[in-house]
Amino acid sequence: MPIADYQTYCKMLDEAGQHKYAYPAINVSSIGTANAALKGFADAKSDGIVQVSTGGGAFASGVAVKDMTLGAIALAEYVHRMADQYNVCIALHTDHCMEDKLDTFVNPLIHETEKRREEGRSNLFNSHMFDGSTVDLVTNMEIAIPLLKRCHENEIILEIEVGVVGGEEDGHQAEGPADKLYTTPEDMLYVCEQMAKVPGARYMLAATFGNVHGVYKPGQVQLKPTILRDGQAAVEEKFGKAARMDLVFHGGSGSSLDEIHEAIEYGTIKMNIDTDTQYAFTRPIVDHMMTNYEGVLKVDGDVGNKKVYDPRSYLKSAESAMAERVSQACEDLRSAGKTIYSNSF
């Protein structure tokens, strides 16, 4: 089935690194946004990553429940079923989990995968992210290493973050000294050295090079992709080419294509996309409401127009628009047309 197993996911990342492209990692929080992500990848003939944040999981469980873990499980199970209808490889990932939520989000989800594996079923999620940007680097690694060990035992890839991606993501305002917006070669060397304590484990690194979460006009975000180049060079010089890192690009809204492509050249194989797809999903809904204002309201006792206030009438447009934005992301990141599906299933 198209949800990637561990070997396929590793192959996806290897192919991206070798051939200089990256996968869009699309945040979803509902069935509609999940469908849009899957359709967008399929239309672009691109493999991709569908991811759920703590906030996305809570939203998916409903306003009465607000259980981020239960919502994430429900979305993942849905994607497992629906991805089977598309001829591309999809990986499931969880996004931005801080230290204080590991025991209420990531660890319970790993436990869910452990139960599935005992039953002979596939992993629920292929990878998880620990966001250690709120702690110092030593503490970050002290938390990450045992987490990496548990992930490795269950064929799960761990994503970690070093430094601070500024701005706001999923309700969390990231703040810190300006120098923390830029990961140093020394930071990357330390991460490589520490993560090697779990032999054979696979991980991704969200290194910071001026990234800022949120939405900005082109030119407003000052990126320094050469930071990634310098860090990779330091790692290769000390530990060899096999130690070259799989890098993740957070906070890419407002970045130019040249900056994105430069980051890919230096080893970025995954780019998180949330702000742009949120806008793409919402824009048609706004247009629908403004165009059909009198039809969606019972003005002066009128009954309105059921054809235009039926949520399906505008959510279909929202899904289609978001799917188009996902396909555009595949084109921008050069993953379009490069699915490995036929060679993997």
3-state secondary structure of 245: coil
Distance in angstroms (rounded) separating the CA atoms of residues 262 and 270: 13
pTM check: above 0.85: yes
Domains defined along the chain, listed by start: 6-344 (3.20.20.70)
3-state secondary structure of 178: helix
Tell whether the model's pLDDT for residue 323 goes beyond 50: yes
Distance in angstroms (rounded) separating the CA atoms of residues 151 and 187: 22
Query: How is residue 182 annotated by DSSP?
Result: B
Q: What is the secondary structure of 77-117 as a DSSP string?
A: HHHHHHHTTSSS-EEEEEEEEEGGGGGGTHHHHHHHHHHHH
pLDDT tens, residue by residue, 307-318: 999 999 999 999
Task: Say what the alpha-carbon torsion angle 22, 56, 38, 272 is, to the nearest 10 degrees.
Answer: -10
Q: What is the residue whose two structure tokens read 């194989």?
A: 269
- CB-CB contact of 94 with 116 (8 Å): no
Distance in angstroms (rounded) separating the CA atoms of residues 189 and 44: 36
Distance in angstroms (rounded) separating the CA atoms of residues 317 and 323: 10
Q: What is the secondary structure of 7-29 as a DSSP string?
A: HHHHHHHHHHHHHT--EEEEE--
The residue count of the chain comes to 345
Short-list 195, 189, 100, CA closest to 147: 195
pLDDT tens, residue by residue, 17-57: 999 999 999 999 999 999 999 999 999 999 999 999 999 99
pLDDT band at 164 (very low <50, low <70, confident <90, very high): low
Lowest mean pLDDT among 21-35, 38-52, 118-132, 160-174: 160-174
- CB-CB contact of 187 with 138 (8 Å): no
Report residue 75 as tokens: 């979305």
Among 47, 95, 170, 274, the active-site one is 95
pLDDT at 216: 45
pLDDT band at 212 (very low <50, low <70, confident <90, very high): low
**Cα angle 163-107-182, degrees, rounded to a multiple of 5:** 5
Give yes or no: 95 in active site. Answer: yes
pLDDT at 254: 73
What single-letter amino acid sits at 8? T
Instruction: Give the count of alpha carbons within 13 A of 58, CB side only.
Output: 12
pLDDT tens, residue by residue, 329-338: 999 999 999 9
Q: What is the mean pLDDT of the chain?
A: 92
Tell whether the model's pLDDT for residue 172 goes beyond 70: no
